[in-house]
Amino acid sequence: MLKLKVKFLDMEAEKPIIVLNEEDAGELGAYPLDRLQMKFDRKSVTTVLNTTKKLVKPGYVGVSQDIQELGIKRGEQVKIFPTVRPKSIEYIKKKMKGQELKKNEISTIIDDINDGNLTGLELGAYISAVYTQGLTMEEVIAATERMIALGKKFDWGKRMVVDKHSIGGIPSNIVTPIVVSIVSSLGLTFPKTSSRAITSPSGTADTMEVFCKVAFTASELKRIVKKTNACFVWGGAIDLAPADDKIIKAEYPLSIDPEGQVLASVMAKKKAMGSNILVVDIPFGHESKVENLEQAEKLAKKFKILGEKLKIKTECAITRGNQPIGKGIGPVLECMDVLSVLNGDGPTDLREKSLVLAGMLIKLAKKGDIRTAEKILDSKEALKKFKEIIRVQGGDPDMNLEDLLGKHTKTFNASAHGEIITIHNKQISKIARRAGAPKDKGAGIYLHVKLGERVGKGERLFTIYAEKEHKLNSAIELVKELNPLVIGSKEKVLVEKL
Identify the domain containing residue 335 by its residue range. Answer: 162-238+261-392
The pLDDT of residue 69 is 85
Q: Are 426 and 358 within one domain?
A: no
Residue 350: CATH number of its domain: 3.40.1030.10
In a domain, 373, yes or no: yes
Q: What is the CATH number of the domain that holds 61?
A: 2.40.40.20
Q: Is residue 473 part of a domain?
A: yes
Domain count, the chain: 4
Is there a domain that residue 360 lies in? Answer: yes
Q: Is 243 a member of any domain?
A: no
pLDDT at 461: 97
Residues of the chain with pLDDT under 70: 489-498
Q: Are 302 and 442 part of one and the same domain? A: no
Tell me, what's the pLDDT at 230? 98
Which of 24, 257, 378, 440 is the catalytic position?
Answer: 257
**3-class secondary structure for the chain?**
CEEEEEEECCCCCCCCEEEEEHHHHHHHCCCCCCEEEEEECCEEEEEEEEEECCCCCCCEEEECHHHHCCCCCCCCEEEEEECCCCCHHHHHHHHHCCCCCCHHHHHHHHHHHHCCCCCHHHHHHHHHHHHHHCCCHHHHHHHHHHHHHHCCCCCCCCCCEEEEEECCCCCECCCHHHHHHHHHCCCCEEEEEECCCCCCCCCHHHHHCCCCCCCCCHHHHHHHHHHHCEEEEEHHHCCCCHHHHHHHHHHHHHCCCCHHHHHHHHHHHHHHCCCCEEEEEEEECCCCCECCHHHHHHHHHHHHHHHHHCCCEEEEEEEECCCCECCEECHHHHHHHHHHHHCCCCCHHHHHHHHHHHHHHHHHCCCCCHHHHHHHHHCCHHHHHHHHHHHHCCCCCCCCHHHHCCCEEEEEECCCCEEEEEECHHHHHHHHHHCCCCCCCCCEEEECCCCCCEECCCCEEEEEEECCHHHHHHHHHHHHHHCCEEECCCCCECCCCC
Average pLDDT, the chain: 93
The confidence score (pLDDT) of residue 200 equals 86
197 and 72 together in one domain: no
Same domain for 172 and 276, yes or no, is yes
Residues 448, 381 share a domain: no
280 shares its domain with 201: yes
Looking at 346, 364, 392, the residue that finishes a domain is: 392
257 is catalytic: yes
Q: Do residues 330 and 382 share a domain? A: yes
Q: Are residues 175 and 118 in the same domain?
A: no
Residue 400 lies in a domain: no
> Which pLDDT score, from 0 to 100, does residue 496 have?
43
